[in-house]
Structure 1
């Protein structure tokens, strides 16, 4: 160690001792080690307080007002945008032109068959924990809704835990005028959480029984085949063309609120309000976009086209779904080619077009669909009464399994199934008789 560095360290210790003496005064006697440590901690705390910037009140950073009701007081803020303003690539004015039946197609839920997004409330919460549970509270609840020619966002905030009853009371009054609800993963998180908080306050949650459109699951059905993530902010980037700048990550939000309650410094909290506001507006824009994809067939990537076909098939719109499957095949969907052929074959079998189904299964088998070979074996054995052709399909499947090995999910189960089928078919061929006598009309076919 050099003499200069040692000298500098001694000087810093002397300055710290002088600072300690100026703050705490000279001790009357030689202090104990415990007392000495306590004095040093007090000095450090004093220096930290002196260096920390002054706290900024919430009202200085977030435009809003204190609201008082019979249950107490809370903080309320409201912003709005004109419906003609585009949020990314989506104009919110499309609320007015969407068919109310589209949400029912997206979800395949009869209860949502007449769901009007322009009359719904969009809800998102910021909470004291991301895992839920009895100890988790929603300290910020945001609502979005159409009012006239504007889309309004109203945010209810409790500045401390004792303001929760007032917040829930005002929120219930506002929610009472809506009969339809839109969330993103609200069925699993936001609604159970709010319902629990209302129960703890001995009040019934006002939206417990209304039709609820949770966009998360339709979004996954529409876009998961192409996108790595279907989180709200990932969809913003990929589908709306939006990239948030300076946004606060969701996992940091609970700690920001805890820090605010302890220190009353709203600097970081203002970013939570903006995060929540953007979540609500993006939720509305993505709901519009999802409906547009269904109504207009806007999908262009073959993976998206295939996903749209699945959504339409799930809603029993078979003619439209068949058309989208064929469009996906024309666009060369790559790994999804076999799956699209299998869906078309299943549809052909249901409508009694067995020859078409067999041709589609043959094409799917050439694309690597193992189940297509099973369907071909069943078709030749039980429909065409051709055990030789069925055995050929089974042998192709066994050779394919032998080459693929453990790469095939449930390979052992498939191998066992095909081996049993092969033994049965060989027995039929050795007996030199048709696999089954011709069935009379109305006689049920034995299971494959």
Structure 2
């Protein structure tokens, strides 16, 4: 019996079959967790643990061409964020820079911020924290930890946060029956301001465009495009493999740092506006228009005066002179308005000529000169008709023909 068993075992062994004690069970491979691929720790809350990554800059850190150095916040920047705030009520360390990565871009109750990135300054050190959901069941713990980061915070800074990040987070707090930390805070949403400041220079003004073209920062090969972020998270939930999420953590961390760098860049533009000759003239024009649009007319006038002595493109020079002349017209200084419109006659375009004709006719009662400028504008439009048949051009031409007829009628009455 023993011999026959040994013979059978030998035959099985010869076929590559393991028998009895020889058979060794394969050890299951250890499954990677997010903590194995991203530096961070699990923080305990009353709702359980939640993963949080922490990254601090060195005190000599430069983001592109923006040095991370603490400085007072310019009173105009505070005023543009919230006109009710005083310039002494905020400092850099009381601002929380915030950016979220979500399961979708549409908002609403079905959109979950699976990663919440926040950053704040302590002196010249900027620390970024990223609170990550390993699964949606950790959301209450995530929100509870986020609430703790709002201690001693007086304002948040975002990029499109008023329309996206803040409403989504407020909704998540409500749905989870938790108090919102956003109540009573000032909000620096840098997207609308960036659009106004750089629309004359940049066709696209996403945060990534701003950081490349304005801040001079280039992302590394770890970067993943924003549209891919939700897909990577869904893959992580499906497969449990956290490796691709390293690119998402990098993407979010750079977003938060770029947000802080952009805030510093705009703040320094305002602080050094009268002394820094390196600020592009077109950016000064945008700032002047921002001052005008917020009712700070005297400041806008001083910048418009300065820009009259600086070379601008024909398009921007026209915009400058039309805006400045319009202010002078409202102030009743029609002579100054005329001077602004004509001081570089060789570079005048049709829009400036039309505005000048209006001033000469209605305010200065100079009918002869008004007619001459109207004729010149019509001549310009006739040439433009050869390449532009737009409705706007047609309307301008019809308005000028009516103006010419009216001026000629006034001249006829004067001769009588």
After TM superposition, the score normalised by the length of structure 1 is: 0.77
Secondary structure of residue in 1 paired with 2:129: strand
- More displaced 10-residue stretch of structure 1: 276-285 or 199-208: 199-208
Given that 2:43 and 2:50 are in contact with CA atoms closer than 8 Å, whether structure 1 keeps it comes out as yes
Alignment pair present for 1:87 and 2:66: no
Pairs within 5 Å for 1:228-247: 228-246=203-221, 247=223
Secondary structure of residue in 2 paired with 1:186: coil
Q: Find the partner of 2:160 among 166, 185, 189.
A: 185
Q: Find the partner of 1:426 among 388, 408, 412.
A: 408
Alignment pair present for 1:410 and 2:385: no
Q: Aligned equivalents of 1:108 and 1:70: distance in 2?
A: 35
Secondary structure of residue in 2 paired with 1:278: helix
Could you say which residue in structure 2 is the equivalent of 1:110?
83
Q: Aligned equivalents of 2:164 and 2:284: distance in 1?
A: 30
Pairs within 5 Å for 1:275-354: 275-297=251-273, 298=276, 299-334=278-313, 335-354=315-334
CA gap 1:149/1:137 in 2 versus in 1, 3 angstroms: same
Alignment pair present for 1:358 and 2:334: no
Alignment deviations for residues 208-234 of structure 1 (CA, whole Å, 9 cap, x no partner): 431100111222222231233322122
Aligned CA-pair RMSD: 2.6
- Give the superposition deviation at 1:127: 0.6
Alignment pair present for 1:262 and 2:238: yes
Q: Aligned equivalents of 1:241 and 1:371: distance in 2?
A: 36
- Give the superposition deviation at 1:194: 1.1
Given that 1:122 and 1:182 are in contact with CA atoms closer than 8 Å, whether structure 2 keeps it comes out as yes
- More displaced 10-residue stretch of structure 1: 403-412 or 380-389: 403-412
Q: Find the partner of 2:175 among 197, 200, 208.
A: 200
Aligned residues: 380
Alignment deviations for residues 263-312 of structure 1 (CA, whole Å, 9 cap, x no partner): 11111101211211111111111101111111102453332232232233
Secondary structure of residue in 2 paired with 1:432: helix
CA gap 1:91/1:372 in 2 versus in 1, 3 angstroms: same
- Give the superposition deviation at 1:318: 4.2
Q: Aligned equivalents of 2:210 and 2:265: distance in 1?
A: 11
Q: Aligned equivalents of 1:168 and 1:407: distance in 2?
A: 57
Q: Aligned equivalents of 2:375 and 2:127: distance in 1?
A: 64
Alignment pair present for 1:69 and 2:42: no
- Give the superposition deviation at 1:344: 2.4
CA gap 1:169/1:408 in 2 versus in 1, 3 angstroms: same
- Give the superposition deviation at 1:390: 2.0
Alignment pair present for 1:370 and 2:350: yes
CA gap 1:393/1:55 in 2 versus in 1, 3 angstroms: farther
CA gap 1:368/1:197 in 2 versus in 1, 3 angstroms: farther
Q: What residue ranges of structure 2 are gaps of 5+ in the alignment?
A: 1-28
